C-alpha cells in the first residue's frame, strides 16, 4: 500500500515581495501569539494566510484551527497588536472561516498526535 503524502499548503504573503525584511520581522513578532490549546504559535500553525499593504493600513488574512475556537477573540487581538508594533500602521484582521489542516503548518512542524 502506498503511503499518502501530505502536500504543503503554505501561506503566501503578498507583503513579502514588497518588503521581505519587514515581513520577516512581522513573522518573528507573530511567533509570540500562541494557540493556547495546541501550544503552537500562529506562524507554525499557518494561521496567518496573507499580509497585504492597502494604502494606509495592513490587512492580515487569518484563519483558525477550528471555526468555534473559544480563544479566537483573544488571538485575533494579539495578532493585531503584535503586527501594529512592527508595521507602524493600523492593521485590520480579515478572519476567514476556511478549514484548517496540518498541511498549512510551517515547514518542519507537524502535529504528531496519531489523529491524522
pTM value is: 0.86
Q: Does a structural domain hold residue 40?
A: yes
Q: What stretch of H or E contains 87?
A: helix 72-87
Confidence band of 85 (pLDDT split at 50, 70, 90): very high
The answer to whether residue 8 sits within a structural domain is: no
What's the pLDDT tens digit per position in 28-78?
999 999 999 999 999 999 999 999 999 899 999 999 999 889 999 999 999
| CATH label of the domain that carries residue 65 | 3.30.300.130
Is residue 53, in this structure, part of any structural domain at all? yes
Instruction: State the Cα angle at 21 between 39 and 55, rounded to 5°.
Output: 95
Give the residue numbers spanning the domain of 21: 15-104
Amino acid at each position: 500500500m502506498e503511503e499518502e503524502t501530505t502536500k504543503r499548503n503554505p501561506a503566501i504573503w503578498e507583503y513579502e515581495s514588497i518588503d521581505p525584511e519587514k515581513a520577516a520581522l512581522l513573522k518573528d513578532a507573530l511567533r509570540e501569539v500562541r494557540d493556547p490549546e495546541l501550544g503552537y504559535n500562529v506562524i507554525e500553525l499557518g494561521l496567518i494566510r496573507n499580509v497585504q499593504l492597502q494604502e494606509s493600513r495592513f490587512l492580515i488574512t487569518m484563519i483558525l484551527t477550528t471555526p468555534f475556537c473559544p480563544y479566537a477573540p483573544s488571538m485575533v487581538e494579539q495578532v493585531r497588536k503584535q503586527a501594529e508594533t512592527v508595521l507602524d500602521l493600523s492593521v485590520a484582521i480579515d478572519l476567514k472561516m476556511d478549514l484548517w489542516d496540518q498541511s498549512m503548518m510551517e515547514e518542519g512542524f507537524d502535529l504528531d498526535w496519531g489523529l491524522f
